[in-house]
Amino acid sequence: MKSRHVKYCVVSVCLASAVVIVCLSGLDRIYPLNLKTKTCSTLITAKDGTPLRAFADKNGVWRYPTDLTDVSPLYLQALLTYEDRWFYSHPGVNPFAFIRACFQNIAAGKIVSGGSTLTMQVARLLHPNQRTLAGKILQMLRAFQLEIHLTKDQIMTLYLNLAPFGSNIEGVQTACFSWLGKQAMELSCAEAALLAVLPQAPSFYRPDRHPERARKARDKVLDRMAFFKVWTNEQVRAAKKEPVAALRFVPPMTAPLASRRLYFGTDNPSSKKTTTLDYDLQIQTEDIVRDYVAGLSDEQSAAALVVNYKTLEVQAYVGSADFFSTKRKGHVDMVRAIRSPGSTLKPFLYGLAMDEGLIHSHSLLLDTPRFQKEYEPGNFSKGFSGPVTVARALRLSLNVPAVQVLEAYGPQKFYDRLINAGARIKLSGKPNLSIILGGAGTNLESLVTLYTGLARDGITGKPKLLKQDADQDADQERYLMSPGAAWIISKILAQPMPGFEGINRLSGHIPMAWKTGTSYGFRDAWALGIMGDYVAGVWVGRPDGSPCPGQYGAVTAIPLLRRIFESLPLTDFIKKPPSSVQPIKICWPLGSAKTRTITNCFVQHDAWILDNQIPLTLNSATRGFDPLLKTFWIDENGNRAQPSCGGIKKIRIGVWPQGAEPWLPPSWRRNKLIAPPSQKCPDLASFPGNPVQITSVFNNSILTRPPGQATPPSIPITALGGQGKYYWFLNKKLVAVINPGSAGVLPMPLPGTYQLSVADEAGSFDVIDFEVISMD
């Protein structure tokens, strides 16, 4: 008899199980389980998980994606103890809890308990139904479905993401940031208890509106935790003393443009994106930029990008000064906007030219007017400096020397190298000489990418904004220049600039290598810098491209860059020169090494060279310069004669480039260094044609300025010889352009000493000095 009962029970259980399986199989076909009825918001977070910006789902619900590992164990303990102690044991429905709820409802004469497990609550959240018996049965069947298809941890994760917490807030992580201002992993016992009970009646217990109700509900959970000895009495007593404090929900809005970039730049917008941004540094940089532009016009904005060049992680990304400002056009991301780079590309030209063997750190360049050339730029200062070193030309950001070097290196090759190094460069046509002075388009991100190459021994790296890119070590490294060239350029940029000596060091000892740029018409002000472990860049201007007269890189952008560097956790270190870099003494004008026997050494410099190679002064005729080392035959009287003449000897003389003549002492000029032609056997082949010569004023003349005249007297300016037009300079500043055969006049300047020079279109110069005195 007993065995018959056992057999009957076994058969009954099997039949019941078969019925349940058949029902669930039919339910899967008729009412398939849809886990995608609700999508998460897109959450953009800082590297530490702090929300930067969130994008609500299509229904306007804020639901941050959450995993079990994101949640404090205290919350899970409170949730399971209060809602479903047997969650990890039952098959989705707890029959004992359901029967208990039935008796409680009968006793109360109304529904006071639903007996729902967490699985059943997830089923209701995924597939809402009416609070009827039929609805409860369907909910139970859905719970069985969930248990068949998912693990317990997966079901718990669904609850953590879908549980309602008041207003349009769903999910425990969203609730933590919205009501408590912290991550779900950082909850206290009191906060965990509050969040465990809040989904039961989120509007009724909403802590910002009904703090007393929320406190009573929380304490009920705490009592339960003590009753089941999950938490100690001491923990519960301490938790009850905590006040219920809630923040007003405000969606996060930090790094709004970086977040927008990631949101629209992904194929899966409903997901969590963890950036490399340092939350504290991001907030700090945003405040610095916002405060800085407050002193500018209402239409101006600014952008900043800070990258740790060792890891290539973006630490701060400020696309505009004020995202919500319509006047400043804060919605425009100026980190990515294409603008004219001004002079910010010059360091890379000089570095590449060093690798090409064209120049070294102190090669002689000419900051002089360019006549009859493809491109005739001036300097920002409107004046010229004459002969300058590469280091000085770069440090002062002189335009003409940069064009001289680019002409020798090649605009197309320069453009190709920048593109290959990872920069984005836009041109309206083929690359030409104007590219070095801002005649192209690029953006702040590309400039920072290029400057990482100076900090990383000539290898650029694309800045990483997503943490997953940093974790995967997706460096995307590109070769820019040799380590030696990068070191020399960085060293030059770290040298003090006249008038801006205090910029190069912060905290008294940490050096900063920096470069500024200003686009045509004062439309863009740039500053890029390398300091400690960071490369940072800033842009200041009007997003619509309107001019900002009087505002340029060294005045407008550098102060902002300095403030940002002052806020960074900087470490000082001295980078030693690579083995390919050697110090050497060189001589001008030829550019050769200083030795005991060398002649023609008018000026010497301490230079840095690469691979023991000493590039001579750019003087090849193929580049538009006459040879600087000249060979002559001298007769017995010391005059220049033809090689066929008798009684002569051969000599070699180093001369300066013709364009440097007005800036040289008289004894260094060609008319003093080169002997006059012989009367009997003149050497005219070496100097075809007659050089330009000033005829209206003699050298060392003294001119008198009469007193009391409303209009100053004029000085006639005439010249003979040379080729083409005459370009007249007073104290090295262009004052007139006159055709051959025509005479010009120059208003007599105030009393003082002056230099008057003239150049023809072939580069021939003549220079005289004169003095103006007053008759008073």
Contact 707, 665 (CB under 8 A): no
Nearest-angstrom CA–CA distance, 225 and 228: 5
Distance CA 243, CA 264 (A): 41
**Residue 316 backbone class (left: φ over 0; alpha: ψ -120 to 50; beta: rest):** beta
Sheet containing 51-55: order of strands: 51-55, 42-45, 272-274
What are φ and ψ of residue 303, in 5° steps? -140, 155
Both tokens assigned to 527: 């500053």
Q: Where are the alpha helices (DSSP H) in 70-210?
A: 73-83, 95-108, 118-126, 133-149, 152-162, 172-175, 189-197
Phi-psi region of 731 (alpha: psi -120 to 50; beta: other; left: phi over 0): left
How long is the chain? 776
- Residues 353 and 414: their CA atoms lie apart, in Å, by 9
Sign for the CA dihedral angle at 565, 566, 570, 574 comes to: positive
Nearest to 626 by CA among 654, 651, 585: 654
C-alpha–C-alpha distance, residues 400 and 732, integer Å: 14
Q: Helix 118-126 to helix 133-149 angle, to the nearest 10 degrees?
A: 100
Cα–Cα distances in Å, from 762 out to 373, 382, 667, 699, 720? Answer: 10, 22, 22, 23, 14
Q: Which residues contact 267 (CB under 8 A, 6 or more apart)?
A: none
The one catalytic residue in 41, 301, 340, 343 is: 343
Q: Which residues, 6+ apart, have CB-to-CB distance to 595 below 8 Å?
A: none
Lookup: tokens for 36: 């995608």
Spatial distance between the Cα atoms of 576 and 311, rounded to a whole number of angstroms: 20
Q: For residues 204, 210, 216 and 217, what is the CA-based torsion angle, rounded to 10 degrees?
A: 30
C-alpha–C-alpha distance, residues 768 and 776, integer Å: 26
Q: Spell out where 458-574 has E strands.
A: 459-461, 477-479, 505-506, 510-511, 513-518, 524-531, 534-541
Using DSSP bridges, classify how beta strands 701-705 and 640-641 pair: parallel, antiparallel or unpaired: unpaired
Is 167 an annotated catalytic residue? no
Nearest of 689, 763, 684, 755 to residue 721 by alpha carbon: 689
Is residue 212 annotated as a catalytic residue, yes or no?
no
CA–chain centroid gap for 519, Å, is 17
User: Which residue is catalytic, options 83, 170, 313, 407?
Assistant: 83
DSSP single-letter state for residue 635: -
Partners of 629 in the beta sheet? 654
Give Cα 112 distance to the centre of its chain: 60
Neighbours of 411 (CB within 10 A): 22
Q: Are 716 and 770 in contact (CB under 8 A)?
A: no
**386-389 and 640-641 strand pairing:** unpaired
Beta bridge partners of 62: 169
Cβ–Cβ < 8 Å for 654, 629 = yes
Residues recognised as catalytic:
83, 343
